[in-house]
Amino acid sequence: MNIRGRNKVDPNFNMSSMTDIVFLLLIFFMLTSTLVTVNAIDVLLPKAGGKTENKSSIAVSITKDAKFYMDGKEVTETNLESAIKKEFATSETKTLVIRGDREVSYKNIMYVIDIANRNKIKMILAVKGM
């Protein structure tokens, strides 16, 4: 009489189920990590190392007391858009360089950027060199 059963247990460990679980966890964490947003981020403003050798540009400078200058001449905030349009219409100028003092409010810089966007003018924000 044979007492042993036909089903024999294999003592070897099968890694396929373990790798499936690891890959599922990896996919789960990759997907959930892209949905996480951080509300407080430290932002360091960039510094530029090179110079622009663009001769066909107009510079709009904004001082910390909110005065606008276009190529060295003072322009009022209300006349700035018409002055920029006029300058871009009469010359082969391709770029507007926005040079804002580091203490000027973003509102004034965004005003110039908005003018450039409305008139489809290519712009560059000037930064301090290294």
Please give the model's pTM, rounded to 2 decimal places: 0.56
- Domain containing residue 80: 57-125
Q: Number of folded domains in the chain? A: 1
CATH number for the domain including 120?
Answer: 3.30.420.270
pLDDT digits (tens, 9 = 90+) for 40-92: 444 444 565 655 555 678 888 888 888 898 888 889 988 999 998 888 887 77
The answer on pLDDT for 38 being more than 50 is no
Q: 30 in a domain, yes or no?
A: no
Half-sphere exposure of 96 toward its Cβ, with a 13 Å CA cutoff?
Answer: 27
Evaluate whether 39 touches 76 at the Cβ level (below 8 Å): no
Q: 4 in a domain, yes or no?
A: no
Evaluate whether 129 touches 104 at the Cβ level (below 8 Å): no
Confidence of residue 26 (pLDDT cuts 50, 70, 90): very high
Q: What residues does 48 pair with on adjacent strands? A: 129
Distance of CA 90 to the CA centre of its chain: 32
Q: 50 in a domain, yes or no?
A: no
pLDDT digits (tens, 9 = 90+) for 87-118: 888 777 678 888 888 788 888 889 999 999 99
